[in-house]
Amino acid sequence: MAVMPLLHFHLVENAWTSAEIQTLLDIAYDTTLTAFGAPQGDRYQIVSKHPANELILGDTGLGFTRSNRRVVLSIRTRPRTAAQKRQFYQLLSDRYAEALKLDRQDLMINLVTNTDEDWSFHAGHAEFLDGEL
């Protein structure tokens, strides 16, 4: 069963308009449908805003800089293939650059893999383990 991952966006406060944030979310959702085969309507997204001095993203020695429009996208997901991950990373970067003029250096993505036993959608149920999903 394909399941939508949980996407948590970390943004610098006051660097994005409400409309831009909605576009960030919509593009990420559509990209997840394409790259991961997640089901329509299975959407889980969180946005957190931070003062610029509390969202520190080094360049890991790669020699680039980031602006205040930097985005950290942390994704909790079932296991995905390397090809699916590469497709997601590239497609999301391309779509953000086109729609939001986001500098590609400003996007950082981290996928954290988990399994069915790591999810409870409501009321303390283990829906996958109990056969509800």
Spatial CB neighbours of 17, under 8 Å, sequence gap ≥ 6: none
Dihedral angle over CA of 71, 72, 78, 80, nearest 10: 70
Specify whether 51 is catalytic: no
DSSP string, 45-81: EEEEEE-GGG-----TTS-----TT-EEEEEEES---
Which listed residue (5, 39, 51, 79) is catalytic? 5
Residues with active-site annotation: 5
